[in-house]
Amino acid sequence: MAAHSACDFGGGKAEKLALAKYRQVLWQGRVLNSQFTDEELRTQGRCPLTPEEIGLLLAALGFNNRTRLYLAS
């Protein structure tokens, strides 16, 4: 999901380069030419949640650290 959005996830220079390459191949640069900044996209709810944000959300909903999560992609 991260590569399909124009959002920056703070993973450093290597992650930015990898996402840029993938986005260029997949979207031919359309995602990179977004008219919104990363902050605007995040404020509008257009970015996937980071693992930290998901952890905070689950904790707020009452789940504890022993809860098992199953991920599918």
Classified as helix, coil or strand, 57 is helix
Lookup: tokens for 17 = 């380069």
| CA distance linking residue 16 with residue 38, whole number of Å | 13
Which 8-state DSSP code applies to residue 12? -
> Domain locations in the chain?
2-48
What is the residue whose two structure tokens read 């902050």? Answer: 39
CA-closest candidate to residue 6, choices 17, 19, 18: 19
**pLDDT tens profile 26-66:** 766 565 556 777 778 788 887 888 888 888 999 999 999 89
Q: pLDDT at position 4, please? A: 66
Instruction: Tell me the pTM.
Output: 0.56
